Amino acid sequence: MEKLSDDAIIHQEIERVTDLIKKMGGDVKHKTDEHVALFPATNNTVTSHPGGLPFNGESKKITKLGSRETKSENTVVKVGDIAVGGEQLTIIAGSCAVETVEGTNEGGRLLQMLGADLMRGGAFKPRTSPYSFQGLGKRGLEILADARELIGIPVVSEAVDPENFDLVEQYVDLVQIGARNMQNFSLLKRAGRSSKPILLKRGISATISEYLMAVEYIMAGGNYNVILCERGIRTFNDYTRFTLDISCIPELKLQSHLPIIVDPSHASGRRDMIIPLSKAAIAAGADGIMVEVHPFPDKALSDGYQSITFEHFARLMKELRALAPAVGRKL
């Protein structure tokens, strides 16, 4: 039998995958001799295939939904009226966890005055120890949503499992999936069926390809509004909580069209590093930052040691405003 050329094999494979996707109810939107972009019509069945396809052992030939090869221009994700990923930088600020009505309302008002675009606050906290404060649950979401109504600032909070996703989704403008859940595939699939945008944090030991594959789980379900978030990875260094992977910012920008937010609070675990790391992130091309702020950091119920005060936040904003034009951004 005549031996097929590499190109012919790839071509044959592309035809085979295209047929497979169509049979599974998917829709192939973009097809070249090199790439097949997958836009599954309904669920995620199709996404389990690309990684497993032979393609001469080169499964990378399959273009992913979050990839620059699928879409060359930057994606701007709308969260309420806020556009994330455009020229304007996005600032997300607030306490690690929602604690009190007064603190959330007053804090939110102050943060907005100082220039925050979104307010953060965890209601379901994925804590290392089961004996630590676990968050106020549904009450926390109610407090956050009330503050949004009162102040007019969009809010973000974390969903920790597919069951409480339904609840979180009802109350917030942006649903966060935390680092520890980056590969919680049932949670990712649930996020893929959501009409709300998703902030997907990078896992503490995740490679960039694992991270971008986790993104695919959400996009393959039909939710294209995904915001990336680098929050530090585990390394051997022992002077910070994690290590902010600055180089992942240009790499993610190269590989993906999705916006990237950097979280210097969890990355460093040190309030004295928030300003320098935020500036480094913006200089490296991040689309914004997410930072923990608390009126009395030493009294915070979680992550107080990495939380900054409102005065410190004001200084951070001043320094970022000075930096932004130098890297072609607005703030």
Nearest-angstrom CA–CA distance, 105 and 3? 70
Tokens read off for 321: 């405003």
Partner whose footprint covers residue 257, from ligand PEP, Mn ion, none (CB < 5 to 8 Å by kind): none
What minimum distance in Å lies between the beta carbon of 98 and ligand PEP? 11
What minimum distance in Å lies between the beta carbon of 320 and ligand PEP? 19
What minimum distance in Å lies between the beta carbon of 179 and Mn ion? 10
Residue closer to Mn ion, measured from CB, 99 or 303: 303
What minimum distance in Å lies between the beta carbon of 19 and Mn ion? 47
Residue closer to Mn ion, measured from CB, 127 or 193: 127
The residue range among 10-18, 28-36, 88-96, 243-251 that interacts with Mn ion, by the rule CB under 5 A, is 88-96
Q: Give the total of residues touching Mn ion (CB under 5 A).
A: 2
* Collapsed DSSP state (helix, strand, coil) of residue 81: coil
**With binding defined as CB under 5 A, does residue 13 bind Mn ion?**
no
Partner whose footprint covers residue 103, from Mn ion, ligand PEP, none (CB < 5 to 8 Å by kind): none
Write out the binding residues for Mn ion, residues 290-309 only, by CB under 5 A.
303
Nearest-angstrom CA–CA distance, 53 and 7? 16
Residue closer to ligand PEP, measured from CB, 62 or 281: 281
**With binding defined as CB under 5 A, does residue 158 bind Mn ion?**
no
Cα(first)–Cα(last) distance of the chain, in Å? 64
Partner whose footprint covers residue 179, from ligand PEP, Mn ion, none (CB < 5 to 8 Å by kind): ligand PEP
What b/e string do you get for 66-105 counting C-beta neighbours within 10 Å, with b at 16 or more?
A: bbbbbbeeebbbebeebbbbbebbbbbbbbbbbbeeebbe
Residue closer to Mn ion, measured from CB, 116 or 213: 116
Strands 77-79 and 36-39: unpaired
Which positions lie near ligand PEP, rule CB under 6 A?
A: 96, 122, 126, 158, 178-180, 201, 231, 266
Partner whose footprint covers residue 231, from ligand PEP, Mn ion, none (CB < 5 to 8 Å by kind): ligand PEP
**With binding defined as CB under 5 A, does residue 96 bind Mn ion?**
yes
Spatial CB neighbours of 322, under 8 Å, sequence gap ≥ 6:
none
What minimum distance in Å lies between the beta carbon of 97 and ligand PEP? 8
Residue nearest to ligand PEP (CB): 178
Spatial CB neighbours of 126, under 8 Å, sequence gap ≥ 6:
158, 160, 178, 180, 181
Residue closer to Mn ion, measured from CB, 70 or 302: 302
Nearest-angstrom CA–CA distance, 227 and 260? 6
Strands 226-230 and 260-262: parallel
Please name the helix (run of DSSP H) or strand (run of DSSP E) that holds residue 110, with its range, or none.
helix 101-114
What minimum distance in Å lies between the beta carbon of 306 and Mn ion? 7
Residue closer to Mn ion, measured from CB, 86 or 304: 304
- Is residue 216 within 8 Å of 193, Cβ to Cβ? no
- Is residue 101 within 8 Å of 146, Cβ to Cβ? yes
Spatial CB neighbours of 318, under 8 Å, sequence gap ≥ 6:
none
CA 137 to chain CA centroid, nearest Å = 21
The torsion angles phi and psi of 201, rounded to 5 degrees, stand at -80, 150
What minimum distance in Å lies between the beta carbon of 126 and ligand PEP? 6
Residue closer to ligand PEP, measured from CB, 234 or 321: 234
Residue closer to ligand PEP, measured from CB, 223 or 268: 268
What minimum distance in Å lies between the beta carbon of 149 and ligand PEP? 22
What residue ranges bind Mn ion (CB under 5 A)?
96, 303
